[in-house]
A and B are shown apart, each in its own frame.
Chain A
Amino acid sequence: MTEFPETRSTLLAQVRSPDEREAWEEFVLTYQPAIYRMARRRGMQDSDAQDLVQTVLMRVAGAIESWEKEPGVRSRHWLRRVAKNAILSAFSRKPNDPAFGGSGFQQLMDEQPAEATEVEYELALESQREQFLRAAVMVQSDVNAETWRAFELTVIDGESCESAAKILEKSVGSVYAARSRVMRRLRNKVQGLGQGES
């Protein structure tokens, strides 16, 4: 996975309260790889894709500075809304578009890119993918290698349980048990990550 060494430490300094910091950390973990994948899918080279990620995150961090907190509105809610607009804007305009440079909170809240629906769907899918990937890393470290392999073969690689049993030299029943156990844990982890963002 691509690393983004400067993004978190540099931009985190701009985030003020602990509540905002937590929301920001969650946002970066989920959206940073999602934005990167979307950029690469559009044919951008690695360095250009990382630049775009950095630009979006800087825009969002800049918006945090000018945000006036509303009573009863959780940080992650407004952060997600601002971030979504920044991301939609980034993928709906060329990077050298003069309008892309601004980072005021109100500007980001007001933006409504023309191709919003399509990009919004892609963003939702990619952020969901990131949650599954993060959850999978956690679950894989929790279970033994054979248990994970049974899940990987049957759910990710598309093998039947019978085929996986032959590959692993295990019984079919143990494959059903293993993949179901991993799936239960994965679902619970994903739900936990989703609740953190709700």
Chain B
Amino acid sequence: MNAQRNDCDRRRIDAFLESNHVTLEDPQLIEHLDSCPSCQDYIESQAAEARSWAQATDLL
């Protein structure tokens, strides 16, 4: 299981996903995602449920 680190900022991830600005970048968040498996899992789970990810792979 991936332990959540002290510098994990889940609200920042939520805001990143919910933003309507298509060019929005967040270098700090991306740098954190480089090395945090827990937040990698989190951003994917918040982006869409597992079923939608699987459907995208199967249907596109």
Residues on A facing B (Cβ under 8 Å): 125, 128-129, 132-133, 136, 142-144, 147, 155-156, 158, 161, 171-174, 176-177, 179-181, 183-184, 186-187, 190
Contacts and interface: CB of A to CB of B under 8 A. Distances in A.
Contacts, number: 79
Given A181-B16, A184-B47, A144 B23 contact: yes
B25 to A, nearest CB: 9
Interface of B: 16-18, 22-23, 26, 29-35, 40, 43-44, 46-49, 52-53, 55-57, 59-60
21 contacts: A128-B59, A133-B59, A144-B22, A144-B23, A155-B60, A161-B40, A171-B30, A171-B31, A171-B34, A173-B33, A173-B40, A174-B33, A176-B33, A177-B29, A177-B33, A181-B17, A183-B56, A184-B47, A184-B48, A186-B56, A187-B52
Contacts of B26: 177
Q: What secondary structure prevails in chain A residues at the interface with B?
A: helix
A173 B23 CA distance: 16
Nearest to B43: A180
Q: What secondary structure prevails in chain B residues at the interface with A?
A: helix
A183 B48 contact: yes
Nearest to B54: A155
